[in-house]
């Protein structure tokens, strides 16, 4: 079947990119510029967290001796994906994910914060409960992604949802843009930067629909 549409679901990296509380913000500094005569070149430096913008969490983010971003097999970055619309807000329970047609090997993308105001505090975002994380682990999925800064709520500083997923080799994608994406099945291509020893990495994420 021919490709009918490619949808970029990545959050741009610029001065407006939100950052998790306490993380370094993204900064781009111009080092050299092309002059008025067209001579020279453009060059800039980048400063950011490994978890800036749309990014992937590797197991090493929370698991001692867990796999780093460069140790993850490339085949995992191209995956069947299902976008699930969760319009009600609040914690995401396991019951909301049942009977959604999640298959083994899927990447599950949670469109859960589309109706939130842009100025709403991050801690008010819909996030995955531990029970829902356990359900996804039981389904043996590839990755889970969400349209906010963190896959789990800010309530528990021990990060139980991250730990449950990453200890069971379920990778996490955070800070996606899913507001223009219809629920349904796609192919996901997500390409994190190849950072040696990285606990995570910024990534470009694309959804491919087929007609």
List the catalytic residues: 61
Sign (positive or negative) of CA dihedral 36, 41, 45, 46: positive
Distances (CA, A) of 36 to 32, 33, 40, 144, 187: 13, 9, 10, 47, 44
Count CB atoms within 10 A of the CB of residue 83: 23
Query: Any idea what the Cα angle at residue 91 is, between residues 208 and 26, rounded to 5°?
Result: 60
DSSP labels for 33-60?
---TTS-S--EEEEE--TT-SSEEE-GG
Residue 68 DSSP symbol: P
Interhelix angle 130-138/160-167, nearest 10 degrees: 10
Nearest CA among 20, 24, 51 for reference residue 149: 20
């Amino acid at each position: 079947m021919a490709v009918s549409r490619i949808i970029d679901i990545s959050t741009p990296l610029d001065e407006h990119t939100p950052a998790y509380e306490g993380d370094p913000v993204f900064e781009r500094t111009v080092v050299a510029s092309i002059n008025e005569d067209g001579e020279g070149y453009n060059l800039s430096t980048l400063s950011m967290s490994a978890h800036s913008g749309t990014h992937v969490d590797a197991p090493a983010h929370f698991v001692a001796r867990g796999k780093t971003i460069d140790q993850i097999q490339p085949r995992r970055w191209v995956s069947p994906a299902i976008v699930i619309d969760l319009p009600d807000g609040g914690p995401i329970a396991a019951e909301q994910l049942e009977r959604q047609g999640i298959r083994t090997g899927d990447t599950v993308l949670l469109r859960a914060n589309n109706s939130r105001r842009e100025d709403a505090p991050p801690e008010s975002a819909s996030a995955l409960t531990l029970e829902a994380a356990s359900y996804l682990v039981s389904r043996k999925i590839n990755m889970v992604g969400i349209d906010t800064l963190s896959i789990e709520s800010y309530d528990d500083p021990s990060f139980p949802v991250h730990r449950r997923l990453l200890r069971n080799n379920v990778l996490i994608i955070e800070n996606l843009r899913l507001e223009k994406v219809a629920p349904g099945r796609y192919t996901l291509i997500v390409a994190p930067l190849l950072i040696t020893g990285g606990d995570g990495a910024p990534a470009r994420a694309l959804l491919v629909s087929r007609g």
